[in-house]
Amino acid sequence: MSLAKRFGVLAVALAVAPSAFAVGEATGAKSNPLTNYNPVTEDRLQNPEAENWLQWRGNYEGWTYSSLDQINADNIDDLVPVWSYSTGELEGHQAPPIVNDGVMFISTPNNQVIALNAETGEELWRYKKEIPEELFQLHPTNRGVGLYGDKVYLAATDACLVALDAKTGAESWVTCVADWQDGYYMTLSPLIAKGKVMVGVSGGEYGIRGHITAVDAETGKIEWKTHTIPAPGEPGSDTWKGDAWKTGGASVWIAGTYDSDLGVAFYGTGNGGPWMPDTRPGDNLYANSVVALDVETGDLKGYHQYHHNDAWDWDEVSPPVIIDYEHKGKKIKGLVHAGRNGVLWTLERNKDGSIDFVDAEKYVKQNVFKSIDPKTGRPTYDPAHVPGTGKTVTFCPSLWGGKDWPPEAYNPKTGLFYIPAHENLCSEMGGVKLEPRKSGELYIGVPIADILTNIRLADGAEDHIGEIQAWDLKKGEKVWQFNLKEMNWGPILTTGGNLVFSGGSNDRMFRALDARTGEKLWQYRANSGITAVPSSWMVNGTQFIGVQAGWGVDAQRMQGAFDAVMDHTTSVPQGGVLHVFALKKNAKKLMDAAAR
């Protein structure tokens, strides 16, 4: 391309994107992959190309799986870092590199989106949404952008959804779905289907009423809003007493999965609020549940409540992974969820959107459920392990659960389902009398100091706490597990190269395991701890593995709780850095590409 043409492209970009360049810097390089940006269509989201990573878990089903196999279990020793990028932000980096034909988008804490050349790491543009100074970010993180058409979508902590021009980073529109001053905020990656951008709200600790909102992808107009707690007169409203439904939580802070054949999205919901169950008697639908929503209308088509009247902060916000499997000789169009309550749930999704219980299996120590009804999946509780106002008890798993929000993964090649788990870990907790709710202030009913020191170690903790588990769903059996000394906050990526990638530990390691056996094959010590979703993509014949490092938020808070009960103090440095890896044989080619 001639210099005149290069400057011509830049001039056009400047003309349409003044706000993006106010915070970022355009590239004038001839290798700029934005020049021929490929719009993301519904068909591409339904059938993602192997060389791309178009949404936060790779596909609508939530597999977190790449079929690429250039990097595999036989040549993993040749995996080397090829470039990195400092985000300039502290706190928890949890978003994956999302890649569309050579263009990468990452989001970071403090509502930042950065576009990069996915082959060379060159910055293409950078955007940062300003939020009110008085907005305290309880969870300063972001879990990834959404792509659709020629736009990039960010769910920001001021509860506003932002659409950016993918080529320039300029704002196309901003739509606020809730009032941050009342305690609402957003951290999730948007789910996009049928031309609608769907987001959910956090804020259960502030006494909000959860909801999911669909926004027109082109115009920013709100199409529908469905609350996760029914109002009086709506189905399920009899599971709440008095006005508890107005402040009952049931947040939605993880993107849903989506069955494109049914046109139904599946979302997990958080715990009821305040935390102590006696403050909101009843089953509290649809908290701690999976809800099935018609994407066109937002109508509730079905649900399954994993446990009722929660007392343990066991948010079940991870949506079920869509997997068709065989159970006792019957083929099931399934939903699979490793619950924060320590139970591996298998469900069936029906044509009308309703959900049936199939089976449940404890995958970590769990002393609260005395039994689970084999027909309905409803658990019965041991009252000795149910906390309340003025009643402090111990329970397992801990309030951070058998698995917190970090996503599981499913590999269709191995047929295995991978869970980032916490074993040998319990909590001690009880509630205190609540003062009347004040808008925008914490409304939990458990002292913060108690939350931050709640950890209690169970037998076996001296050996290990963190685990990666691999399950054969057909047999209902755990096939292998890989142990980590302390916590595991690592989302999992699995690949066609028979590999499992994950971080999550306080030693800053990013590891590759053999997906078939759990054997550790490779590891790399990053600048900080890793709690982000890894992803994989290919540009010009080179497969890449990428992950953001950046310790913070709940991983750091759990570390503080560990330090409070263990005989040590662990310091995990903060600071966001994107690390990108490829095979050694491609390094020279990548250096040449970066030099062009």
Distance CA 181, CA 172 (A): 24
313 is catalytic: yes
Phi, psi of 18 (to 5 degrees): -65, -35
263 within 8 A of 301, measured Cβ to Cβ:
no
The amino acid at 209:
R
Residues 142/144/147/150 CA torsion (nearest 10 deg): 60
302 within 8 A of 287, measured Cβ to Cβ:
no
Q: If you ran DSSP here, which 8-state letter would residue 62 be given?
A: -
> Catalytic residue among 165, 259, 310, 313, which?
313
Q: Please name the residues in contact with 25: beta carbons below 8 A apart, sequence gap of 6 or more.
A: 123, 125, 126
Tokens of 30: 């001839």
93 within 8 A of 532, measured Cβ to Cβ:
yes
Q: Please name the residues in contact with 177: beta carbons below 8 A apart, sequence gap of 6 or more.
A: 159, 160, 161, 184, 186, 199, 201, 211, 213, 215, 222, 225
The amino acid at 490:
G
266 within 8 A of 246, measured Cβ to Cβ:
no
Residue among 317, 324, 303, 322 nearest 378 (CA): 303
Residue among 305, 313, 288 nearest 205 (CA): 313
- SS3 letters across 265-323: EEEEECCECCCCHHHCCCCCCCCCEEEEEECCCCCEEEEEECCCCCCCCCCECCCCEEE
Phi, psi of 538 (to 5 degrees): -135, 135
Three-state DSSP at 497 gives coil
Tokens of 157: 């902590």
Intra-chain end-to-end CA distance of the chain, in Å: 12
Distance CA 531, CA 392 (A): 31
Phi, psi of 568 (to 5 degrees): -165, 165
Residues 136/109/288/196 CA torsion (nearest 10 deg): 110
Q: In what order do the strands lie in the sheet with 196-200?
A: 191-193, 196-200, 211-216, 222-227
Cα dihedral across residues 149, 151, 154, 158: positive or negative: negative
Distance CA 284, CA 289 (A): 10
270 within 8 A of 305, measured Cβ to Cβ:
no
Neighbours of 267 (CB within 10 A): 30
State the burial class of residue 327 (Cβ atoms within 10 Å of its Cβ: 0-12, 13-18, 19+): middle
55 within 8 A of 407, measured Cβ to Cβ:
no
Residue among 155, 142, 250, 242 nearest 198 (CA): 155
Any idea which residues carry the catalytic annotation? 313
